[in-house]
A and B are shown apart, each in its own frame.
Chain A
Amino acid sequence: MGSPEKENKMVDKIKARVMDASKIKRAFNRMATEITERNRELNNLVIIGIRTRGVHIARRIAKLIKEYDNVDVPVGILDITLYRDDFSELEDKHIVKKTEINFSIENKDVLLVDDVLFTGRTIRAAMDSLIDLGRPKTIQLLVFIDRGHRELPIRADYTGKSLPTSRREQVQVQLKEIDNKDEVLIKEPGGIN
């Protein structure tokens, strides 16, 4: 829900650059610490990133946990296209990508990861999808940006930054793995190019 994968024909105006690379790095370090503090049994933890950017965030968190506690936490990839309830509104609905979770989530502490938490519908879909894959012991949620406007009773356990926004605005978490740069932008939809 955070940032559109396809290039928009509309040119969006950048309204604010709310986080740069160093702020993003600090947020990652803090969240990784919180996760290791809260999860005494790190060996029971698995991380599942929601496509696309959630996956990269998940991998960074796993890497930090390895640095801090020398535990290898498995990372899986979840595609929730087939579980969406706003199916009919999706324009690029044709693109179903693969869910790649090569480990059992049965009785595991699952850390679900996404880039932006907005209405909560993506997370609802992700939880339905996870439960079809097994019965985790717990599910925790990490989002990089919580931008408010929830439509479902969902909250994050770990948040990189809470960012009050208007519904009109778009929040983009850019990650150097795919966007060449680490930054968080608030954009305002513009006119047609």
Chain B
Amino acid sequence: MSFGKKHLLGIQDLTKSEILSILETAESLKEISRRDIKKVPALRGKTIINLFFEPSTRTRSSFELAAKRLSADISSFSKTTSSTVKGETLKDTVLNLEAMQTDALIIRHSASGTPHFLSTFCESHVINAGDGTHEHPTQALLDAFTIKEEKNRLKDLKIVIVGDILHSRVARSNIFLLNKMGAQVVLVGPPGMVPAELADLGADIDHDMDRAVKNADVIMMLRIQLERQQKNFFPSLREYRNLYSLTPNRFKKADRNAIIMHPGPINRDVEISTQLADSVKSVILKQVENGIAIRMAVLYLLLGGKEREFTN
């Protein structure tokens, strides 16, 4: 078990052993959030900045709480409160923040590759909290953690991901991670959202949801990004719902112990029926709880301990 990276930029460049080391560390750290005093001193004196150029409640507060539970100091900036609205370049913003002696920068940005760009000149550890349509590594890690908790393994599970895969960084990170861990991934959605090229990522593709969910162990629903609807990736919301919404009838075709996941925020009765979202088969809120443990593990593994040689 080892973790040799300086940054967490994506799942694609993590080794299997690095992924396992994050999952195992998270398992140990999860208990801290259930204590009366939800705090340990491990990262005392470390300064972390949350830079969110896209809206987020879950990921941002999850990172904030994770940092605080490890006793690090954290400040959060959003697009509207940062000087980029005054015309400052991203690089200048980051260099100015780093001049305040930061130890880590957590970044979410609508442009794919922003965290990689920061890592080329930052002294601080860079953590990708979602970049464009590229990756959202901590989401994939918390998903894997949740699946492992429910199913005790990842290998050989049939995991169906439904929705706008093409534009989903959550899906991409999940495909990378699940492939590395030996799960079978099936991508489901209309051809405009699940084009054939996605098979190159190492997943099966099916445009027929009723067929795809058969014997599935995990069904992961993605949010239909209603703000993208004007771009006509699917003919109509009603048609999408008819073909790809997770309904009790469709869910019956999955394995009887199948679980339902969703990275949030959910559109009730669009991609998932309210009845299922609130059922015992849904682990959506467990994903949120586990998000804290995963982000604590990532911060601890990157920032804790002595300066060492990094492989990225």
CB within 8 Å of B: which residues of A? 79, 81-83, 87-90, 93-100, 128-129, 132-134
Contacts and interface: CB of A to CB of B under 8 A. Distances in A.
Contacts of A82: 40-42, 70, 300
A97 B306 CA distance: 19
A94 B40 contact: no
The 4 closest A-B pairs by CB, nearest first: A82-B42, A93-B305, A82-B40, A88-B306
Interface stretch (B26-34, B104-112, B121-129, B153-161): B26-34
Determine which residue in A79, A96, A100, A132 has the highest number of CB atoms from chain B within 10 A of its CB, and name it: A96
Contacts of B40: 82-83, 129, 132
Interface residues of B, number: 22
Contacts of B31: 98-100
B39 interface: yes
Given A79-B28, A82-B42, A132-B35, A95 B306 contact: no
A96 B29 contact: yes
A94 B40 CA distance: 16
A94 B2 contact: yes
B158 to A, nearest CB: 30
B240 interface: no
B36 A96 contact: no
A132 B39 contact: yes
B25 interface: yes
Nearest to B70: A82
Nearest to B41: A83
Given A89-B306, A90-B305, A134-B36, A98 B42 contact: no
11 contacts: A81-B42, A82-B40, A82-B300, A83-B42, A87-B305, A87-B306, A88-B306, A93-B305, A94-B21, A94-B301, A129-B40
Contacts of B306: 87-90, 93
Contacts of B21: 94
Contacts of B2: 94
A97 B28 contact: yes
A96 B300 CA distance: 10
Determine which residue in B1, B300, B304 has the highest number of CB atoms from chain A within 10 A of its CB, and name it: B304
Interface of B: 1-3, 21, 25, 27-29, 31, 35-37, 39-42, 70, 300-301, 304-306
Nearest to A83: B41
A33 B37 CA distance: 35
Contacts of A89: 306
Nearest to A134: B36
B37 A133 contact: yes
Nearest to A132: B37
A87 B304 contact: yes
Contacts of A87: 42, 304-306
A94 B3 contact: yes
Contacts of B39: 132
A102 to B, nearest CB: 10
A151 B304 CA distance: 24
B304 A133 contact: no
Contacts of A132: 35, 37, 39-40
Given A87-B304, A133-B35, A96 B41 contact: no
A44 B235 CA distance: 69
A93 B37 CA distance: 23
A129 B70 CA distance: 13
Nearest to A99: B31
B300 A88 contact: no
A94 B3 CA distance: 8
Nearest to A100: B31
Contacts of A128: 41
Nearest to B2: A94
Contacts of B300: 82, 96
Given A81-B42, A98-B28, 11 more contacts: A83-B41, A88-B305, A90-B305, A93-B304, A96-B28, A98-B31, A99-B31, A129-B40, A132-B35, A132-B37, A133-B36
Contacts of A88: 305-306
A2 to B, nearest CB: 21
Nearest to B21: A94
Contacts of B41: 82-83, 128
A97 B40 CA distance: 14
A94 B28 contact: no
